């Protein structure tokens, strides 16, 4: 898979209880299970950057970036 033909889908999650480590861990575990779907070639589960820059949105709890072979694979 090369960058030229990679389809990237990025999802941001805002938890109802953003300070709950239990809720955060449950979400991460669920995303790891979903990431086993065979059309997902690669994925990254992340958290907001530890920065104070005004241009960076750090209001979300978890992000999930998925890489697919092409747009059809994402469907």
pTM of the model: 0.86
pLDDT value at residue 2: 55
In the numeric block, which tokens belong to residue 27? 């979400």
> What are the residues whose beta carbons fall under 8 Å from the beta carbon of 45, sequence distance 6 or more?
28, 31, 32, 35, 62, 63, 64
Burial class (CB in 10 A: 0-12, 13-18, 19+), 7: middle
Give the domain ranges of the chain.
1-37
What's the pLDDT tens digit per position in 5-62? 799 999 999 999 999 999 999 999 999 999 999 999 999 999 999 998 989 899 999 9
């Amino acid at each position: 898979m090369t960058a030229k033909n990679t389809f990237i889908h990025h999802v941001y999650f805002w938890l109802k209880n953003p300070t709950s480590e239990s809720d955060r861990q449950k979400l991460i575990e669920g995303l790891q299970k979903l990431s086993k779907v065979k059309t997902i070639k690669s994925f990254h589960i992340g958290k907001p950057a530890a920065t104070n820059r005004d241009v960076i949105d750090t209001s979300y709890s978890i992000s999930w970036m998925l890489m697919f072979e092409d747009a059809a694979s994402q469907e």
